[in-house]
A and B are shown apart, each in its own frame.
Chain A
């Protein structure tokens, strides 16, 4: 049976995998000091001195929160500045989902020092593996961030089905491809994707897109401040 169709025993090992990877990244950040936002090789333009273009509107669709409640995605992409990333909890690509998680974590810590921003920003991690990433799985993945009421709100969402996911993936332009064995032509269980992080303004327009290979927290923070200065 295709493991993506299997509901049993996946929570345990995926939770372990996510925990190991995320813990590793946290330890890297800790070893590099307390402010990862200083690690740029150039001087970026100051917030508000440049314009972020309106790239596209956020698509509409239905998502599930960690309690399994169905909600419109717009509920999580309007009225605040939103950083949204597609993830899947079993992703171990160091340049992929764990990198996005770590960047969100770094930004959240940074924003703690700027309490005036806290209630104007939210983070969203949205799974594109709804068969394995159940609301329960997403709650495990989010850990203490799920119920944290002190810092920036961070939502861990999934979708009820691949059919519900498809318009979101398509609308954001988030690719999901299946790795195929060139010799046999058979599809593997491995998903291939260019993991992106979307910066969304309070009106629900995507204003910047980052790939995790070039996901620089200082630049993201500047972009957030640039959008806040528009308000």
Chain B
């Protein structure tokens, strides 16, 4: 070190030298809102699993389960915490607030929204608030997608209070859980009014939504649903392109067969997204044409659509060049090469369970986690109804299982959505013995 350079100036110089390589944090690990920060780019410590309660299994209630996933930990692969919410309400998806202090989780049946604090003790999330009046405030049912915006949470719903069909919308809350506004899905210009996922590209001022089905269908037994021709017509076939700033739908795209998760490419400069349609088993690309108009087009087929493999979740790699696809019916985890997003090519597949649903990967792509449950009434029956979280290592050629947690054996329930946690951050303001304090270091607090 040059003795003439003082440490503070050196620090400033290093910061400035790094500027050329710093890009806006348009990324996740790998399926969060672009506004979600504090991304875990190294080893994740925890996987939070939003778990559906099963009558007669444990307490039978929905719960947030925390699994230690750091190989260096003595509790690696073990459940280290479980926070029951006291009822069974079709636990489904979760989402971080933009500052990653809070994890919001929803119940598709009860329409309740649970807010967990994961900043004070990330190993043991704590339920701090329950929002139980979304239906009264918005007319929407089934809070599904929790998508962070600056200081706010945008909640994509699946259904409505009037007929429990698929016409729905999005509800906006501030990070404290106070209701701000509602936005109906478009029902004109080709819109079917259905909702599911949300995907924002701030650099283009664009918000995309996809479409699934209403409460009447997602709460129906799957075997019965498939035989009900009229009910099977009530699935979304559209995506909507919204002006993000004005929150107005500008265009409806035709995407047949229930387009579900939306993943924008995380590579800086890319301005395209992909989705997978559950019923038609297709990958669709959403991007602007030469005239700047947003278009959707089918670019790949997942498995044999005639066998209805039912793609239920996708996970894009950090470089935007790969896509994991889980197909529920055949229990396969598939990998598509996305180097050319106009023509994705499947390069790998493996049966990872008797039924598989969500798939999440680490930032570096070396670890892949899967869960088993789709919906309480859509899961397989009998011995095929395995309920697990499985962790795999990916070397670019094969998935090798690292550990498994059997949610039936542990009497936890049906494992659905996953989010990663880290123990490398803790809130600077805490409440100790009822008094609010600023934490300075391990030994000191300031009042």
**A residues with CB within 8 A of B:** 2, 4-5, 13-14, 16-17, 20-21, 24, 41-42, 44-45, 49-51, 53-56, 92-95, 131, 161-163, 165-166, 169-170, 173, 175-182, 185-187, 189, 191-194, 196, 198, 206, 209-211, 213-214, 219, 222
Contacts and interface: CB of A to CB of B under 8 A. Distances in A.
Determine which residue in B22, B99, B439 has the highest number of CB atoms from chain A within 10 A of its CB, and name it. B99
Given A45-B243, A54-B180, A166-B429, 5 more contacts: A56-B178, A176-B427, A179-B425, A187-B440, A213-B24
Given A56-B174, A166-B436, A177 B150 contact: no
A4 B440 contact: yes
Nearest to A50: B246
A119 to B, nearest CB: 26
B321 to A, nearest CB: 22
A166 B428 CA distance: 10
Contacts of A178: 425-428, 439
B98 A211 contact: yes
Determine which residue in B35, B101, B245, B425 has the highest number of CB atoms from chain A within 10 A of its CB, and name it. B245
A16 B175 contact: no
Interface in B14-34: 15-16, 18-19, 22, 24-26, 34
Contacts, number: 162
Interface in B92-119: 98-101, 119
A182 B442 CA distance: 13
Nearest to A90: B8
A86 to B, nearest CB: 12
Nearest to A222: B245
Determine which residue in A4, A54, A194 has the highest number of CB atoms from chain B within 10 A of its CB, and name it. A194
B34 to A, nearest CB: 8
Interface string B402-426: 0000000000000000000011111
A41 B180 contact: no
Contacts of B425: 177-180, 192
B189 interface: no
B152 A176 contact: no
Interface stretch (B199-207, B296-304, B380-388): B199-207
A14 B45 contact: no
Contacts of A14: 8
A196 B440 contact: no
B438 A24 contact: no
A42 B429 contact: no
B438 A180 contact: no
**SS of A interface (majority):** mixed
A27 to B, nearest CB: 10
B12 A209 contact: no
Which 4 A/B pairs are nearest by Cβ-Cβ distance? A13-B8, A50-B246, A162-B438, A209-B151
A26 B175 CA distance: 33
A211 B37 contact: yes
B176 interface: yes
5 contacts: A20-B13, A194-B99, A211-B37, A214-B34, A214-B202
B180 A21 contact: no
Determine which residue in B8, B22, B26, B119 has the highest number of CB atoms from chain A within 10 A of its CB, and name it. B8
A175 B99 contact: yes
Interface string B197-240: 00000111110000000000000000000000000000000000
Contacts of A206: 151
Nearest to A171: B176
B119 A177 contact: yes
B9 interface: yes
B176 to A, nearest CB: 7
Given A53-B172, A173-B174, A194-B99, A219 B245 contact: yes
Contacts of A92: 11-12, 15
A17 B429 CA distance: 26
B379 to A, nearest CB: 36
Contacts of B78: none
A170 B176 CA distance: 10
Contacts of B6: 13
Contacts of B427: 175-178
A182 B8 contact: no
A180 B15 CA distance: 21
Contacts of B11: 17, 92
Given A180-B424, A211-B37, A173 B25 contact: no
Contacts of A166: 429, 436, 438
Contact of A182 (B243, B423, B429): B423
B423 A210 contact: no
A20 B9 contact: yes
B444 interface: yes
